[in-house]
Amino acid sequence: MKKHVLFLIAAASLLLSCATVKQPIDTQYWEFHKIEKIIPEELYSSDEDVKAKSAAVFGGLTDESKRQVMTYLAYTLSDEKDPVVRAKIFAALTEFNAGAYVVAPLIESARANSSAVIFREVKAFTSRFKPSELELAPLVKFLKDPDWNVKLTAAKIIGLMSQKARTALPEMFDAMRSVNDNSDRYAEIYNAASMINPRIAILQVIVDMHSKDKNISRNSINTLFELYMFLNKDSNTGREILPALVRLMYSEDETLSKTSHEMIASIGDEDSVKAVKSYIAFSKIALKSMANMAGQKLQDKFKQQEDDIVDEIAVYYKMIGREDALNGVKK
């Protein structure tokens, strides 16, 4: 449905006083207003004359009025089913230089439209913005949305912001842990978070292995295993993974221990084979015996390693001014 949008356009006129040449020229300004009428949909009309006239009116609007028109167009996607019309709307948003302020309205429209295709279109459109242009605050709220497409779209856009979005990492990790028993979704949000800070992201996944929530624990273990298979083992991120899986192999939780043991054994590289052999040689019975000095020493070492990881995340949170999120590191 086409709607007329009315805007006030300000213009200035100059009045010079009648004065002698030797006297200062007295200038006086005043403003007057006129009403301009624009139909936003005409900005992508197939009729070139109609489009040109609408573009001319748009060009005379104030910046705030232009923002309102572009935001209105973004919201029209909420009930637009025709892919051709949607393409025209995105083209108009691009042609008339819509700013990053339309990203949040676009996500809301995609949610209302309930179309996975529109979410892909929104993500493609967002790629035109530089990370510095994107606005973080309106996007963070979408990380709590129960709709997976909304959550993922927001996470990926926030990830594109890199370091500018570092204060949103606690919410990114909460979103990562809210996907229930779905390792793929957990990994997708991890990937977005890693674009902000790869080391803190991997450390959070390691902490999640010991979550009381079995879904979170399972998702994190699967993600670490996949990462170990594809990351550079000597990278700042990669070298944290195998020791974390090894620590889990010695866990008193039989299920977690067995899962980690099987994963490490399946890797087959020199380090993983060595870790499995050491585990077998040491014996879980000896490890569980509190009277066994070697077992207690190993457990203390593992606990210190885990505490060091939590401490590193805490230091980072303090650095970015998110002390309020410290209690959410472990869940």
What residues contact 96, with CB distance under 8 A and at least 6 apart?
43, 55, 58, 66, 69, 70
**Tokens standing for 235?**
């990278």
Determine which of 43-47, 236-240, 323-327 has the lowest per-residue pLDDT on average.
Answer: 236-240
299 vs 287: CA distance, rounded Å: 8
Average pLDDT over residues 206-229: 90
Q: Residues 99-119, buried b or exposed e (16+ Cβ, 10 A)?
A: bbebbbbbbbbbbebebeebb
Does 142 score more than 50 pLDDT? yes
How much is the mean pLDDT over the chain?
Answer: 83
Given this model, what pLDDT does residue 82 score?
94
Average pLDDT over residues 99-125: 92
Does 166 score more than 60 pLDDT? yes
CA 65 to chain centre: 29
Q: CA angle, 123 as apex, 44 and 320 as ends, to 5°?
A: 130
**Tokens standing for 324?**
């309020």
Q: Which fold has domain 166-331?
A: 1.25.40
Phi, psi of 152 (to 5 degrees): -70, -40
Does 93 score more than 90 pLDDT? yes
- How many CB atoms are located within 10 Å of the residue 281 CB? 8
If one compares 14 and 246, the residue with the highest pLDDT of the two is 246
Given this model, what pLDDT does residue 28 score?
46
Determine which of 124-138, 162-176, 213-227, 250-264 has the lowest per-residue pLDDT on average.
Answer: 250-264
CA 269 to chain centre: 34
Does 218 score more than 50 pLDDT? yes
Given this model, what pLDDT does residue 146 score?
94
Domain residue spans in the chain?
Answer: 166-331
Share of the chain above pLDDT 70, in %: 80
Given this model, what pLDDT does residue 252 score?
75
Determine which of 211-220, 268-277, 281-290 has the lowest per-residue pLDDT on average.
Answer: 281-290
- Condensed to tens digits (0 to 9), the pLDDT of residues 167-209 reads 999 999 999 999 988 999 999 999 999 999 999 999 999 999 8
65 vs 62: CA distance, rounded Å: 5
- How many CB atoms are located within 10 Å of the residue 247 CB? 20
Does 97 score more than 80 pLDDT? yes
**Tokens standing for 201?**
């992201």
**Tokens standing for 99?**
């700013």
Average pLDDT over residues 234-240: 71
- Condensed to tens digits (0 to 9), the pLDDT of residues 39-79 reads 999 999 999 999 999 999 999 999 999 999 999 999 999 99
